[in-house]
Structure 1
Amino acid sequence: MALTDPVPSRERPPDAAESPRAKAMTIGAVCKALEQEFPDISISKIRYLEDQKLLTPRRTPGGYRLYAQTDVQRLRTILRLQRDEFLPLRVIRQELAAGREAATAAPAPAAAPETGDPPTDPRPRRRVSMSVQGRGASYSLEDVLEETQAQASLVAELEDYGVIRGEMRGGVKYFDETEREIIRAVTELARYGVGGRNLRAFRTSADREAALLQQILAPALRSRNVDRRKEALDALENLAAVTTHLKHLLLIRDLRKIVGPPLTPPDR
């Protein structure tokens, strides 16, 4: 993985104004255009995606990148697939080659096992940009309970088992975006009788994976070179997506063993 970019990046290359493609954008302009939807977007992240052969912007004679509107839309699709479906870059590359566009909606929630009726789903469609590079906004316990429809006792149980931590400020407990989404997910699991004590395996697995990824990228993450460290953070995001995808595949494989062969409809 390349950790340096010999081509200088500027907000506006000298020949951009004369470009026959009036809608072409510089890398800085692309970053600014997408930062509202993707707060963790950065120039180094866009360069990293180019290094991974996911983007191929046009180059000016002076070596500057220029992005057409199709390039910007492709980048938006890549970022949405990362954020909303947690797909690793290799899978995203395959999806794009097959003409895939980013999903715009999450599947409907499963029916509750006791009644068969679809439970009320308080979750907004996944729009939170989960990133290892920032904790995002903070939410008071009251706000979290209202948004997730979780019980205060469940939140306390998750704290007792170390699944979430929260932070006291001015006598008020606050949670970051990731912890809020953890609470939301566990609230859904609670409908099926899953409690905090059942989540130890998830916590242990996550701790081990984090330690493995830290070991893989430790030298680059500790680098004093700003560009090298930023690209290491982008690589860490991708590795996290890869491990998430792998866990999903392994789970599906094991669940198929539990379910057994598909039912054959009776002959008529």
Structure 2
Amino acid sequence: MPRALARADQAPGASDLLTIGQVLARLKPEFPDLSNSKLRFLEERQLVTPVRTESGYRKFSPADVERLRFILGLQRDHYLPLKVIRGHLDDLDAGRPLSLPANAAPASMLTGGRRYSRDELLSETGATPALLDDAIGSSLVPAAEHYGDEAHRMLQALVELKKSGIEPRHLRALRAAAERELGLIENAVAPAVRRRDSAGRARAAELAREIASHLETVRGGLIRSALGRIDG
């Protein structure tokens, strides 16, 4: 199993159990948008199962906290819907090999992701300063003092594409297409967003991830179909 991600059925001692407030205190530095409602939403989806005291209060074990960190990391770094994340958790609980997304870095999912300075990002990806500047100018990588795993993956891909003569400026149409997809998603989840309660926003965010996953499937299918013409 990945580091520190224990099975949910491993019984902790009573002194190890945490209140929902303590869980938030531990995880909010990594996931600032985390809220009581989001934790309850994940519990409703049976992705984490805290124990209940006789008074009805939730108590979370260390294993629960690591499961939450794993779930939230997959959502934040890879935009995976909960249906997909549930499959990864089932694999972990059953002791099966973890089948992560192809572009995933397992350590980052469990630790909240690495942060890179500009020099570190260039050094680790092999990109030139000019390529990073072009990526920023083409809105493929956000301008920032520090960069996350998504920027690292994007720049790595751009380095490889450049070897085939594909520059960031050639990919502006992809950026525009992504913005159009975002518009579709925003329109679809608008009714849930308008509810304005935390639970409604959590459900809207999950629906958005599910729609994005389906759009990714459609996009991938179209590209594979086009590649078939080249192969033929």
TM-score range, shorter chain: 0.5 to 0.7
User: 2: distance between equivalents of 1:144 and 1:188?
Assistant: 15
User: 2: distance between equivalents of 1:251 and 1:30?
Assistant: 38
User: 1: distance between equivalents of 2:58 and 2:40?
Assistant: 10
> 1:142 and 1:92, CA in 2 relative to 1: closer, same or farther beyond 3 A?
closer
Cα deviations across residues 105-144 of structure 1 (Å, max 9, x unaligned)?
Answer: 88699xxxxxxxxxxxxx99646858xxxxx9795x5564
CA RMSD of superposed structures (Å): 4.3
* Match runs of 1:4-153 below 5 Å: 21-35=14-28, 38=31, 40-83=33-76, 85-98=78-91, 99=93, 126=108, 144-153=121-130
Asked if the contact 2:20–2:36 (Cα under 8 Å) also holds between the matched residues in 1, the reply is: yes
Aligned to 1:246: 214
> 1:150 and 1:63, CA in 2 relative to 1: closer, same or farther beyond 3 A?
same
TM-score (norm 2): 0.65
Q: Which runs of 5+ in 1 are unaligned?
A: 1-19, 110-122, 131-135, 168-173, 261-268
SS in 2 for 1:22: helix
Aligned to 1:201: 173
Q: Does 1:186 align with 2:179?
A: no
> 1:84 and 1:175, CA in 2 relative to 1: closer, same or farther beyond 3 A?
closer
TM-score (norm 1): 0.58
> 1:207 and 1:146, CA in 2 relative to 1: closer, same or farther beyond 3 A?
same
Structure with max Cα Rg: 1
User: 2: distance between equivalents of 1:108 and 1:24?
Assistant: 34
Cα deviations across residues 49-84 of structure 1 (Å, max 9, x unaligned)?
Answer: 123332232222322111234433432332343345
Q: Which runs of 5+ in 2 are unaligned?
A: 1-12
Structure with greater helix percent: 2
SS in 2 for 1:202: helix
Q: What is the number of equivalent residue pairs in this alignment?
A: 213
User: 2: distance between equivalents of 1:185 and 1:151?
Assistant: 13
> 1:105 and 1:179, CA in 2 relative to 1: closer, same or farther beyond 3 A?
closer
User: 2: distance between equivalents of 1:217 and 1:76?
Assistant: 25
SS in 2 for 1:206: helix
